[in-house]
Amino acid sequence: MEDPVIQYSTRFDVQAIRSIFPLLDQEVNGYPLAYFDNAATTQKPVSVIEALHDYYTGYNSNIHRGIHALAEKATEAYEQTRLAIQEFINAPEKEEIIFTRGTTEGINLIASTYGKKFLKQHDEVIITGMEHHSNIVPWQMICDETGAVLKIVPVSVTGELEMDELENMISDNTKIVSVVFVSNTLGTINPVKEIIKKAHDAGAIVVLDAAQAMQHLDVDVRDLNCDFLAFSGHKMYGPTGVGVLYGKRKHLEAMPPYQGGGEMISEVTFEKTTYNDIPYKFEAGTPNIADVVALKEAVYFISNLGKQTIRTHEATLLAMATEGLKEIDTVKIYADHHHKVSVISFNIENMHPFDAGMLLDAKGIAVRTGHHCTQPLMARYGIEGTVRASFAVYNTLEEVDRLIKAVSRIATR
Amino acid sequence: MAINEIQEEIISEFEVLQDDRESTIFYIMELGEKLPSMDEKDKIDINLIKGCQSKVWLITKIYDNNVYFRADSNTEITKGLISLLIRVFSGQDADDIMNANLFFIEKIGMHQMIGSQRSNGFASMIKQMKLFALTYRELNKHKKFNAHS
């Protein structure tokens, strides 16, 4: 379903965008909601919500192997999303698209299958100091199990990767480099193409945690030449509980299955089971059909609008927020540089981020506070957490102005 | 002053704020600022209350058979919240603490204001304070029993 207002608009009209996000039109604590928690999850356009409704009211049925009309329709809708995702990330083959519950499951899948099969003692896995816990813990677990060593690329004071350190770290022992494409806490866009090149030169594979990239950046897996890419639907205007893992065919075929069950098999006898081909080998059990179906609408929403349009608007919001917050003496901004998506992490002097978040909430402004599941990054800055405002395409300059004024009021109370 | 009288006093103080969310939070933060800081030597993991999102340290002392509390937190709002509990409980009899019905919490609209996560933390603080009172009472019983036997 394509919204005509969006599709045929040549000029960016944020009010038109807002009109297709029903949730935004509400008051919180007596103020119009200003939703700046988009890096945690974005709101959903009406096309995504209607797709869920249409699925459950029109053709809910278990997919594959069904011979009746509804099963056919559901299967087709499910597989259409696979094609839409293939196009969205420019993957060579649709079989390289695996549906997961989200980025976390995608990374766990790689660690527990590829990692388990190919890592051995003294091999090295490289991650960075700005990873989300979901790109730390699965690697710690598999390193513990296999005897491989986990190495960490440090983060500079400006919130960027120390690329020289990375270069020194990569060696013949490096087997996997798993990097966050865009930092969820700082918004920093990492030079992943350069990292992939360096890793490949050393014979290592690269996993990209793209949870915060898909909604802002052009992501082309062929151009990047990454081995794996994991992301979540709900951070790119799609439903919760669905994500995507892209993997190169040669890797996916070499990997053992992740979970056993229905769908992932070719033939089962009590003596031996042969596994299904990719992608089904990695999609055991009845998948999250409805959310996969609705995810396609989120892809269409982004593609119809165009990522360049999204980025231009978000960059304006970020620039205004950065300038405004910088003028407040007691505000400290983390990662104030230009290789960023629309995320701003800050603290107010002598105020815990929880307290600041609660005071902003009292004014109808939703931000995230705390460590953002990046405790090692917080430790690097010697802080417990930050206040994070993350902007999406439906946010307005007026809302950012409210944020600046509210922070200013709190900071000077 | 008895526990219930203190609670009534708190309720009337909050009435002045007329349910204005921001004013109420600022007021709680002010209460937090007024609560004397704890000695750094007491801010250790063993004194942390489990189940709070922010860090809350709580210690207790007994004088004249009454239970006294001191607490601190790394966030002003939490410090303000525990200062209310200290005002209600500190210096009271262990039985009174254990049997106290904290009606002021609902009357001042605490749960709506602080949300479910902080409410859970607040409940953990109350639980820990009541647990201290219970421990003291049981220890005391034991001592009395030993003294009589």
How far apart CA A361 and CA B80 sit, in angstroms, is 18
Amino acid letter for position B114: I
pLDDT digits (tens, 9 = 90+) for A182-227: 999 999 999 999 999 999 999 999 999 999 999 999 999 999 999 9
pLDDT at residue B50, as a whole number: 82
How far apart CA A136 and CA A153 sit, in angstroms, is 12
* Residue among B22, B26, B77 minimizing CB distance to A354: B77
Residue ranges of B 46-85 with Cβ closer than 8 A to chain A: 53-54, 74-78
Tell me the catalytic residues of A: 373
**Residue B36 · residue B59 · CB < 8 Å:** no
Domain map of chain A by residue range? 51-303, 306-411
CB–CB of A351 and B54 under 8 A?
no
CB–CB of A413 and B75 under 8 A?
no
With 0-12 CB in 10 A as exposed, 13-18 as middle and 19+ as buried, what is B41? exposed
First and final CA of chain B: distance in angstroms? Answer: 35
In terms of residues, how long is chain B?
A: 149
How far apart CA A388 and CA A133 sit, in angstroms, is 17
For helices A353-361 and B21-34, angle between their N-to-C axes, nearest 10 degrees: 160
CA distance B7 to chain A (A): 24
CA distance A404 to chain B (A): 16
pLDDT digits (tens, 9 = 90+) for A38-77: 999 999 999 999 999 999 999 999 998 878 999 999 999 9
Amino acid letter for position A228: F
CATH H-level, domain A306-411: superfamily: Aspartate Aminotransferase, domain 1 (3.90.1150.10)
- Other Cβ atoms within 10 Å of A261 Cβ, number: 11
CA dist list (Å): A409 to A131, A272, B19, B146: 33, 68, 19, 60
Per-residue pLDDT of chain B (149 residues; tens, 9 = 90+): 899 999 999 999 999 987 789 999 999 999 999 999 899 999 999 999 887 778 999 999 998 889 999 999 999 999 999 999 999 999 999 999 999 999 999 999 888 888 877 788 889 999 999 999 999 888 877 776 666 65
For helices B21-34 and B110-148, angle between their N-to-C axes, nearest 10 degrees: 30
How far apart CA A60 and CA B6 sit, in angstroms, is 58
The whole-number average pLDDT for the span A231-245 is: 98
CA dist list (Å): B19 to A183, A407, B139: 39, 21, 42
CA distance A204 to chain B (A): 40
ipTM: 0.85
Structural domains in chain B, sorted by start: 3-143 (3.90.1010.10)
CATH topology classification for A51-303: Aspartate Aminotransferase; domain 2 (3.40.640)
